[in-house]
Structure 1
């Protein structure tokens, strides 16, 4: 039992959620800083003067970093059964599944060069590049990076088509330029492969200037190629930007939808009504010990706990509420003061639906009004008040 509690605590430190905690923030901040220091060290170590002058410091940093990253890797494998996608699997299968995930593969590659160097006892300077894999560990701590990867994967076919079009334009431009410039510059445009270098730097709008047309026909081709290059670059950028924005909206929508539909007050609503409720929600984060609402005061909102835990205290005693649970709905619907005082036990993120907004939705959306009225009647007949411990 103690081991499972410890495993859960470590999981919460390594994979903080929406609310997180100050300790989880500290752990993540330290790991991010360590990754950045390692990347800087790899860059600086490539300078012979610094590498010889600070060889001991670089070595000490590498040993300390590998020790920290190794501990993180082992810890992430150990807490894998706590990861939601692996619930229901045996601990062994959960850890095997986690070990094959892209994130843990990157974590493994980040420490492999050091251990390979120790085991083989040879100069493996060519593995220096693998140490830069540590930079990609930052993706774990950036939801935006993860969303970007998902966006690229979702638009892989469109991006593949863009690449195919670019390659076609590349070959056509190189072939046309060879025909126009072959006689004038046989040393630079003798073959299509020779002309491909010019086509690449022109289509990508780099324009080094080491190879350029001198004939009239070649200049006309170069002008069309340069304009085409702008279009070719804008096409994948637009695809990625649109997909990235859509992915972020989708993630927020899915999380909020699951929260709203999990609340008894809204569980019977149709999709259109749930979407209407979601547009009226606001979010807030409370630190441990912070007062969310006080008993005896007017009920100002219905609160849904997105993440974290709260303590509700009233005449009936105390109880703890966690993610997915709600409070305040009975008081809002029945127009009476709150009967409980609610404080944050951990760092808590809540979604709030203002009382005026709820009454407005109830009046303007028949489906919402019907569900709420039915639920309120059931509470009254049963003598229940969900906001009372």
Structure 2
């Protein structure tokens, strides 16, 4: 019984360190993990530089192997300290952790694939746990609701922009002609969209005075058009925010359930909202 209790205790302690950022040990672990991830990405970048990667190949290769082994140990530790390992393995972070670990092993048999280790950049998403940005999920929900509520208006706006682009593109095709790069109407419409959105690749440019005058109007019109969808979404967002004024703010933390791996629990929560398992408080 004592050995079973000790086994349970070290698993719970390991879970607290790896999966939670509210405790000093958990926060330190995540900070070190992020530093190692950034270092690994920099190594992959340096290896891709001709000359530098060749001169320092042995150092970079050994550093990459050390980091890969550390990530492998971390991946195994994450599986060991949860009661339902497949829940983590097939979760978003579990898949990302696996994909960011295996490229170096595969490159041992097939050269060049280790560059896929840049996938580790996705693991930087764990910074949200350290900064406790989960408390802003309510604001993101309002933004999503605002986009959904304004989708009809935005669709009408985009439809009008498309019609304007077709009309102006056709006019530019007639004014400039093939000799100035406007070889057909679709290409002229492409120029109009690029100009209207203020991107301006410069691969096609009007040469005639009338064409340049029309292009100037399109550019000015583009600045005005940019503000329209912003205003639509902002108005809907304000409306959604006003609807939620009666709902009290709820602070969420990085507490992770060791049974089902559910996160984003309320502060001071004693039990998991998903499975009812008692939470560990460090």
- TM-score where L is the length of structure 2: 0.67
Correspondent of 1:211 among 197, 204, 215: 204
| Kept after mapping to 2: 8 A contact 1:177/1:189 | no
* In structure 1, distance between residues paired with 2:128 and 2:29: 14
Determine the structure 2 residue equivalent to 1:63. Answer: 65
* In structure 2, distance between residues paired with 1:53 and 1:200: 47
| Kept after mapping to 1: 8 A contact 2:198/2:219 | no
Deviation at 1:123, TM superposition (A): 2.9
Structure of greater Rg: 1
- Larger RCO of the pair (alpha carbons < 8 Å, separation 6+): 2
RMSD (CA atoms): 4.2
Q: Does the C-alpha gap of structure 1 residues 73 and 207 become closer, same or farther in structure 2, counting only changes over 3 Å?
A: same
Determine the structure 2 residue equivalent to 1:151. Answer: 140
Determine the structure 1 residue equivalent to 2:112. Answer: 124
Q: Does the C-alpha gap of structure 1 residues 179 and 114 become closer, same or farther in structure 2, counting only changes over 3 Å?
A: same
* In structure 1, distance between residues paired with 2:239 and 2:99: 32
| Kept after mapping to 2: 8 A contact 1:203/1:229 | no
**Which residues in structure 2 correspond to 1:1-389 (within 5 Å)?**
1=4, 2-18=6-22, 20-21=23-24, 23-81=25-83, 94-118=84-108, 121-125=109-113, 128=115, 130-143=116-129, 151=140, 154-155=144-145, 157=148, 164=155, 168=159, 171-183=162-174, 184-186=176-178, 188-195=181-188, 197-213=190-206, 214=208, 215=211, 216-232=213-229, 253=250, 255=252
* In structure 2, distance between residues paired with 1:66 and 1:251: 45
Which of the two has greater helix per residue? 2
Q: Unaligned regions of 5+ residues in structure 1, if any?
A: 82-93, 257-305, 308-322, 325-346, 349-389
- TM-score where L is the length of structure 1: 0.51
Deviation at 1:197, TM superposition (A): 4.2
Q: Does the C-alpha gap of structure 1 residues 204 and 99 become closer, same or farther in structure 2, counting only changes over 3 Å?
A: farther
Count of residues in correspondence between the two structures: 244
| Kept after mapping to 1: 8 A contact 2:100/2:119 | yes
Q: Unaligned regions of 5+ residues in structure 2, if any?
A: 254-266, 271-280
Q: Does the C-alpha gap of structure 1 residues 49 and 188 become closer, same or farther in structure 2, counting only changes over 3 Å?
A: same
